[in-house]
Structure 1
């Protein structure tokens, strides 16, 4: 099946992609020297072999800025043409101003609205959906959407079940208004009732949570429970996207999932009856970069020549909150 023909609607077309990774690479063998783990233990449970770790000066805004420069160059767009900037992140440089404002200043794109979206690992999908709404409404024509994270700065390096999972990095896309092709639909969900299965117990208003001894700024996760909820939620949101557009799972050309765990990715691909050759996988080299993972994977797929214009892509993510969502688009 194919989606209905355009009927005068405005689409958000991805005009360019970009990404940026910190220079430092931390392998599983490196981790085995600082925590009780091994390459085999990590790979068999997550599929991760290595991850990038931000060094001095490699802030969330700097990673996002570098990714944005590449996306703008790929799109042939000047910073002065941007009329909206949205950054998905759960590790902002500062509480305020937003990371989007910091990147806006670095780009020299002052004047347009710029703000952050915090939906944990679903941040980029939520940000992309938000920008799509602006473009559909006619209030933006050229949007810059970024997912950027420095998760390793909130990792407890003594906790082997979580410190092995995360990495740093950023990805970006430039969206342009188009009358023919682009994002077909987006689907977002959340369930705050599951917050303590995957969370950071530190904040400004609530401060340190008293029931979490030695909490600090770190990631707390009940891995098995998160896995079960993620697989179920992603199955549902994939069906929702296809049903909303009258499409069949076999119409998809590529699945570009959040890169949290290879087993979750494989479970989603199996549900879609998709061979892994049609799934973009970067988790082995990047680890879980939270909101950076989907745009990082997308940029790699585009620049490698795998993803071609006209193909049907499904982007999906699941994160703390819980939050989850999908984006179905014609690239």
Structure 2
């Protein structure tokens, strides 16, 4: 069994709205952007003047320009998760991190976040790009409970605007920065229970989405959109059967890639609009932090007995899913 005790999220203050992107003169306007991706705003760790003057031509320079590090945004999200769980950093016995663009090749980003929080515990990274959160919970759920500490902190810091080319309208309209965190336990019961989970990948498609070291984000947009919709619908159907879901007895949180993608998934999977939770329209594609940040933002609305299905896709190509139920 895997229990979830608290969830947290953090979005930086700087807002990239559609008017700002239009001012960059890269071939977008508000209607063009809404028609294609359904996104009004995104958040960024970069100063807007930096984006305006450089278009982020050099991602390595963006590391210096950013107003937050991954460690800082990770710590912000983690503190909220700890507060909701009624815990402190001293209670954390393991830190796991992962996402699309870690700031260091070595050490593990989990180590840097742990140090920022003052956590003295083992730390390692487990990542499958945007699908990392589902992958992390799936594998921890299957680990030997006796070998794990009581409380595990999972953090997904996704400040991916640092690797966006703001002269390329295809990717500039998508990304927003977000960080998520959860506290889980294999042994201590909590308010949420992970009922079932799954993880799959198709490595032959690895080159459809990639970020070369020191370079910008690149993807085959049409192929990735098709993959994301197909695999998301398949995962929803599989989880419905495995987790004994009846109709729309769950809230759905999908990969926050873009609103058009999510609309197609919900239509094909027959998920009603009032059961669909999302934030991509206001925060952009938050990578691995996108779906869990939606969960965290809705933390207070969920009631005992509520169920949440989360399905996430990412580079690799990889996809993961889970069903959660609030039990207390």
Please tell me whether residue 298 in structure 1 is matched to residue 298 in structure 2: no
CA-atom RMSD in angstroms: 1.8
Which residue of structure 2 lines up, in the alignment, with residue 288 of structure 1?
285
Q: Is the 8 A contact 2:153 2:184 kept in 1?
A: yes
Aligned-residue offset at 1:271: 3.0
How many correspondences in the alignment? 304
Which string of whole-angstrom CA distances, capped at 9 and with x for unpartnered residues, describes residues 203-255 of structure 1?
4xxxxxxxxxxxx5111112111111111111111122222223334332x00
Shift of the 52–247 alpha-carbon distance from structure 1 to 2, 3 Å rule, reads same
Q: Is the 8 A contact 1:182 1:329 kept in 2?
A: yes
Equivalent residues in 2 for 1:141-152 (5 A)?
141-152=150-161
Measured in 2, the distance between the counterparts of 1:93 and 1:308 equals 37
Shift of the 135–106 alpha-carbon distance from structure 1 to 2, 3 Å rule, reads farther
Q: Which runs of 5+ in 2 are unaligned?
A: 47-65
Q: Is the 8 A contact 1:15 1:175 kept in 2?
A: yes
Please tell me whether residue 153 in structure 1 is matched to residue 148 in structure 2: no
Secondary structure of the residue aligned to 1:263 is helix
Please tell me whether residue 263 in structure 1 is matched to residue 248 in structure 2: no
Measured in 1, the distance between the counterparts of 2:286 and 2:113 equals 19
Measured in 1, the distance between the counterparts of 2:249 and 2:205 equals 33
Measured in 1, the distance between the counterparts of 2:262 and 2:149 equals 33
Measured in 2, the distance between the counterparts of 1:133 and 1:113 equals 19
Q: Is the 8 A contact 2:157 2:178 kept in 1?
A: yes
Q: Is the 8 A contact 1:60 1:91 kept in 2?
A: no
Q: Is the 8 A contact 1:317 1:325 kept in 2?
A: yes
Measured in 2, the distance between the counterparts of 1:291 and 1:135 equals 25
Aligned-residue offset at 1:33: 1.2
1:20 to 10, 17, 29: 10
Measured in 1, the distance between the counterparts of 2:257 and 2:275 equals 18
Which string of whole-angstrom CA distances, capped at 9 and with x for unpartnered residues, describes residues 44-81 of structure 1?
11110010010334112211110000100011011111
Which residue of structure 1 lines up, in the alignment, with residue 106 of structure 2?
96
Measured in 2, the distance between the counterparts of 1:242 and 1:131 equals 22
Aligned-residue offset at 1:132: 2.5
Q: Is the 8 A contact 1:197 1:221 kept in 2?
A: yes
Which residue of structure 2 lines up, in the alignment, with residue 195 of structure 1?
206
Aligned-residue offset at 1:179: 5.3
Normalising by structure 1, report the TM-score.
0.87
Shift of the 289–179 alpha-carbon distance from structure 1 to 2, 3 Å rule, reads closer
Measured in 2, the distance between the counterparts of 1:275 and 1:250 equals 7
Aligned-residue offset at 1:198: 1.5
Secondary structure of the residue aligned to 2:154 is strand
Secondary structure of the residue aligned to 1:66 is helix
Secondary structure of the residue aligned to 1:42 is helix
Which residue of structure 1 lines up, in the alignment, with residue 308 of structure 2?
313
Please tell me whether residue 29 in structure 1 is matched to residue 19 in structure 2: yes
Which residue of structure 1 lines up, in the alignment, with residue 322 of structure 2?
327
Q: Is the 8 A contact 2:3 2:189 kept in 1?
A: no
Normalising by structure 2, report the TM-score.
0.88
Q: Which runs of 5+ in 1 are unaligned?
A: 1-10, 204-215
Q: Is the 8 A contact 1:134 1:140 kept in 2?
A: no
Equivalent residues in 2 for 1:128-139 (5 A)?
128-134=137-143, 136=145, 139=148
Measured in 1, the distance between the counterparts of 2:241 and 2:84 equals 32
Measured in 1, the distance between the counterparts of 2:140 and 2:83 equals 20
Secondary structure of the residue aligned to 2:15 is strand
